[in-house]
Structure 1
Amino acid sequence: MSDRFELNRRHFLSGCGAAVASTFLSAPALAQLPTDKALFGLSAFGELKYQPGFTHFEYAAPEAPKGGMFRFQPSYWFFNQSTLTFNTLNSFVLGGDAPPRMELCFDSLMVRAYDEPDALYGLVAESVTISPDRNSYHFKLRPEARFHDDSPLTAQDLAFTYDLLKEKGHPQLRLPLGVLEEAVAEGDHAFRLTFDGSQNDRAILDLVTYPILSKAFYSEHPFDSSQLNAPLGSGPYKVGRYDAGTFIIYDRVADYWAADLPVNRGLYHFDQIRIDFFRDRNAGFEAFKKGDVEWREEFTSKVWATGYDFPAINDGRVVKNEVPGEKRPDMQAWALNQRRERFQDMRVRQAVSLCYDFVWTNRNFFYGIYERSESPFQKSDFMAEGTPSREELALLEPFRGQIPEEAFGKAVKPPESDGSGRDRNNLQRAGALLDEAGWKTDGTVRRNANGEPLTLEYIVRDEVFVRVETPFIENMRRIGIDASIRLLDASQYQARIASFDFDMAGLRQSLGGTPAVDGLKQLFHSQSAATDGTRNLPGTRSEAVDSLIDIAGQAQTRADLVIALRALDRVVRARHDWIMQFHSANHRLAYWDIYGFKEQKPDYFFPVEMLWWYDEEKARAIGKA
């Protein structure tokens, strides 16, 4: 069970996993790459698996057939996207609700390889050259690049894109552009990005994956959330039929200009991709059982344990499968909004955390399938464990007195519970913390010295959260917190999250295994605390946290990055900015048996709609051809 968002912007901005295979080519870190030499790929620490002349990524399937429709329920989404409704086709602004996978309609300068931790290879850019001062990146563009109306994609479109996104883009796109000084067309097929000198070495890795917008289209159409006109793109898909809030179909572009480039060959097999929108999970599951939807990732543990007992699965037409998760950090947590004064006291946040009995919840609601999470960097080498190493202490010591003393001891873990559902010891500790913080009980509710009650409203967007998390709310009420849970519709929920209008809210997301500094800032940095639309839901403001993020951005080796992020992890956990929830090692998938796919999935991203294909023989065998 999760309320899933994606910080890492997988198609455009994702970082990737933690370990580098021994077969990768050795190369200097990005900061040591040669200048004035055309490069066909970039990587944070220089490792590139693929050499010039490669024909396709190993996880691609050039032999697979094209055709069929992929009807699915997305398991991740970006920016202002929603899986419950949509009222705009502009996915790159803060306002409105856009449909997932709009990103498939747009190309970018470079694209990620999903079997490498952080490598990028040219798409619209044939090559990139770094200037001697390392502040400018010069791109040679492919002259064959085209928009869907067959108009040329030129450097003027790129310059327009970066300027527009810097001014009006979604905060997740806009904020990383703060260090960009210029985006300049130097002819139709030459383009330059110049930084102001304050950027970290890896800033370029995010920016080259931005969607390229058409200057002609957005000169005639407003770049805002009012748009239900299909935008002009240049990617492998374009918007087909749709009914706002009900369904959208993306049509594969038959004459896609980049279909045979090595970075695309063997990908994007489906002729159509269809997403239907359901107001609640039960309706979506019923549509899947009937075959109106044919692929889903299951995030509700009760449904996974008990719901897959219907004719199509019993006779083998539907497959239920688990596949390993990616080699990247995974985070699922609650945030108490420190923009509200009553949650600024760390003792209040600790008290709320003590009210959650994971052991009882996992047994009674989750069928024991989850493990308790301890860290925003769960499942990665960046997660701190035990006491700090000498190198970690060297980074932490300058902040002694500014950060909780617990950051210098064993890594802070969530409180253990006895599994009773109402652990008396934990609730007593929570009450004592609230007493210390000045919230005294009047026998019914806790009040501060001014007589104001300690209220907490937890906002959710699906009935399943009400059922599963009401015991958590009831425990808060037992210790005198006037706690409640409110179910909102999709638009209300998205608007309140984007504007930080909540007391408590949940978030699930994935950082990259080579986390981008801008991604870290989105979550933890003081700058993002005051910027609507970021994922700094708690409103974390800490000079120490900001400095550790900067140190991580300056890391010249992966080992240095690990040390910096472990130090950051210790501080964030000691501050109790997030109440960690739980995680699972695998994807839980269910799908009608009409697909072909490679058994070995890439380690760092799993875009099924890009990798799998329609198998007509299988479909005919189960009556769905």
Structure 2
Amino acid sequence: MAGAAALAPCLKTLAFAAAPTDTPLHGLSAFGDLKYAADAAHTDYAAPDAPKGGRFNFSPSYWYFNQNTQTFNTLNSFTLRGDAPPRMELCFDSLMSAVLDEPDAVYCLAAEYVSISADRNSWVFKLRAEARFHDGTPITAEDVAESYRVLKEQGHPDLALPLADLRAAEVLAPDTIRLVFDGNQSSRAILTVASFPIFSRGNLENRGGFEGDAMAPLLGSGPYRVAAVQAGQSIEYERVGDYWGKDLFLNKGMNHFDRIRVEFYRERQAAFEAFKKGVIFYRQEYTSRVWASDYNFPAIVEKRVVKREFPAETRPTMQAWAINQRRKRFKDVRVREAIGLCFDFEWTNRNLFYDAYARSHSLFERSVYQAQGAPQGEELALLELLRSQLPPSVFGDPVRQPGSNGSGRDRALLSRAAALLADAGLERQNGFLQTGDGERLTLEILVNDESMARVDAPFVENMRAVGIDASIRLVDPTQYQARQASFDFDMLSVATIFTATPTRDEMENFFHSRTANREGSRNLTGTADPAVDALVDAVGRAESREALGIAMRALDRVLRARRDWIPNWYAANHRAAFWDMFGYKEPKPDYGFPVERLWWLDEAKARTIGKA
């Protein structure tokens, strides 16, 4: 730590786009100066004086990679194979890490500093001498190089795809690694790649490789490690008391709980009952009916449980149905538009959601990346380059989802749907539509939760009214994850939050032709359109926030016109309930809400409600 302190005055606080060559940097920011200096004590949202101790039992509200909140059968969270428990990422450090109050910055973690080559294709990381795995062995450049190799070759697509342009991870010295890109990478790719987990090379060899013993945890180096496992039911992470990085500014005032326990329930109602009994301490509620009418149990009345809302993150969000265009019957845009016309949001929101949601129209809702009005200026100029490949509707106001009369079966909308299906050459035979090849227009909505089946049922009835042989298939969590990863579905619902400063790799994962047939990618619709590809590439080339906004809004406009996805609804806030035994700092940070890392146990409160 003394060496890092001595170096701190030499480290520059610059955006890497303008950073001098071969200069030690403590952080990288895509478009502007870093918020935190090299000698910062802690982040603004941290609580360095908060007590350590206690446990936090919860069911996570978000997850990554192959993680599943309903069950798990592997502890390797970084491969496509199997279902892993959420928060496994807490066990691993990376070269650099993002903070929760900047949209596009990363700071050195296992790396002491980073320097950049003149061509911006090479990045040299000097590792901290004190960086250690949980078994006490040092993190070396060999470990880092092996980590990038296995992630590129065997990692989950969310990790492997951004490494496609990584040419080499070169060991320059035991404590120095150079990442070399081929020149085709997005300028901001390093912000993603430098945040990938580091594994122990020796541990990988001992376990028989990256995909060795599925239920043996990979050796980590982060603030937590696996302590107890009940396969498919629960996992406990314990705080590492001698964690090497606990005093770094990224970690100071974070990670307060001694134990973090994740509970797994196959049904939302079972999870809610566990919360009511105090088995789970914190819950984010995603069933509006439950939020509106079921939070009246004794612990609420006695004020032992708090029910409140927290502002959502300032990040683009997408909640939509993905229509799988790998199925020939969904390739016609008129068919996809007709399907969307059958969903009556107004009726659903009033009768099933207690008016808790707003209608989604954009794939980047709640952000500056939503297309507005007719394209103008530089956005129009960008789209003009692709005019011959784009539908005319792109050049008017952006496509919006239709409003209904709220009856649940709006005749005008269903008539429009029927007309579109007829225009697409579909004819009714025996009550259902068929193509000219004699194929019936069937559509199965894949779900893994009873509550979604309930929401989708009126949608299905409207589709059947216009001649689509629609149905719902409820499957178990493991089957759902496997079918989604292999694109074995007609339509399913997706909810995701993008990064605050989207990258080419992120957009490519969802929308680019390169991922259309890559199993495990997020391109669930099978989008493979040269115009979309060009706009995704424009996102990657953006060298300013303004340029990024222009490219993203153009992309949003084109995706909405294509109707690959049917945007449905979104909420403005986190609906949270928790047993009143925690301390937390307000306001919450703008770009993330990892409660298990930010909050702490307040023993006085716990005693008051009988939870001490």
TM-score, scaled to structure 2: 0.97
The one-letter code sitting in structure 2 at the alignment partner of 1:218 is L
Alignment correspondent of 2:41: 55
The one-letter code sitting in structure 2 at the alignment partner of 1:426 is L
Q: Secondary structure at the match of 1:383?
A: coil
Q: Which runs of 4+ in 1 moved over 6 A?
A: none
Alignment correspondent of 2:156: 170
Aligned length: 600
For residues 200 and 329 of structure 1, the distance between their equivalents in structure 2, rounded to whole angstroms, comes to 20
Deviations 1:330-362 (A, max 9, x none): 110001100110001000000000000000000
Alignment correspondent of 1:246: 233
2:495 aligned with 1:513, yes or no? no
Deviations 1:497-552 (A, max 9, x none): 00000000110001112102111111111111110111111111111111111111
C-alpha change, 1:150 and 1:166, in structure 2 (3 Å) is same
1:133-532 correspondence to structure 2 within 5 Å: 133-221=119-207, 222-224=209-211, 226-532=213-519
2:101 aligned with 1:115, yes or no? yes
Alignment correspondent of 1:38: 24
Alignment correspondent of 1:577: 564
**Per-residue deviation, 1:27:** 7.4
The one-letter code sitting in structure 1 at the alignment partner of 2:508 is K
The one-letter code sitting in structure 1 at the alignment partner of 2:438 is G
Alignment correspondent of 2:68: 82
For residues 457 and 225 of structure 1, the distance between their equivalents in structure 2, rounded to whole angstroms, comes to 36
**Per-residue deviation, 1:580:** 0.4
8 Å contact 1:294–1:591 — kept in the other structure?
yes
8 Å contact 1:93–1:225 — kept in the other structure?
no
**Per-residue deviation, 1:30:** 3.2
Alignment correspondent of 1:22: none
The one-letter code sitting in structure 2 at the alignment partner of 1:159 is A
1:605-620 correspondence to structure 2 within 5 Å: 605-620=592-607
Deviations 1:404-456 (A, max 9, x none): 11111101101111100001011011011111111111251001112211000
581, 597, 602: which one pairs with 2:584? Answer: 597
**Per-residue deviation, 1:28:** 6.2
8 Å contact 2:345–2:359 — kept in the other structure?
yes
For residues 359 and 368 of structure 1, the distance between their equivalents in structure 2, rounded to whole angstroms, comes to 9
8 Å contact 2:15–2:28 — kept in the other structure?
no
8 Å contact 2:447–2:472 — kept in the other structure?
yes
C-alpha change, 1:28 and 1:566, in structure 2 (3 Å) is farther
Deviations 1:277-311 (A, max 9, x none): 11100000000000000101001100000010100
For residues 149 and 437 of structure 2, the distance between their equivalents in structure 1, rounded to whole angstroms, comes to 49
**Per-residue deviation, 1:225:** 7.3
Please, which runs of 5 or more residues in structure 1 have no aligned partner? 1-25
For residues 296 and 43 of structure 1, the distance between their equivalents in structure 2, rounded to whole angstroms, comes to 34
2:523 aligned with 1:554, yes or no? no
Q: Secondary structure at the match of 2:321?
A: strand
- Which stretch has the larger CA shift, 435-444 or 54-63? 435-444
C-alpha change, 1:440 and 1:509, in structure 2 (3 Å) is same
**Per-residue deviation, 1:401:** 2.4
**Per-residue deviation, 1:29:** 4.8
For residues 15 and 385 of structure 2, the distance between their equivalents in structure 1, rounded to whole angstroms, comes to 27
Structure with larger RCO (C-alpha < 8 A, sep 6+): 1
Alignment correspondent of 1:13: none
Alignment correspondent of 2:3: none
For residues 173 and 190 of structure 1, the distance between their equivalents in structure 2, rounded to whole angstroms, comes to 22
**Per-residue deviation, 1:226:** 5.0
The one-letter code sitting in structure 2 at the alignment partner of 1:547 is A
**Per-residue deviation, 1:46:** 2.7
Alignment correspondent of 1:70: 56
The one-letter code sitting in structure 1 at the alignment partner of 2:247 is D
105, 108, 113: which one pairs with 1:127? Answer: 113
For residues 322 and 153 of structure 2, the distance between their equivalents in structure 1, rounded to whole angstroms, comes to 29
- Which stretch has the larger CA shift, 602-611 or 395-404? 395-404
Q: Secondary structure at the match of 2:416?
A: helix
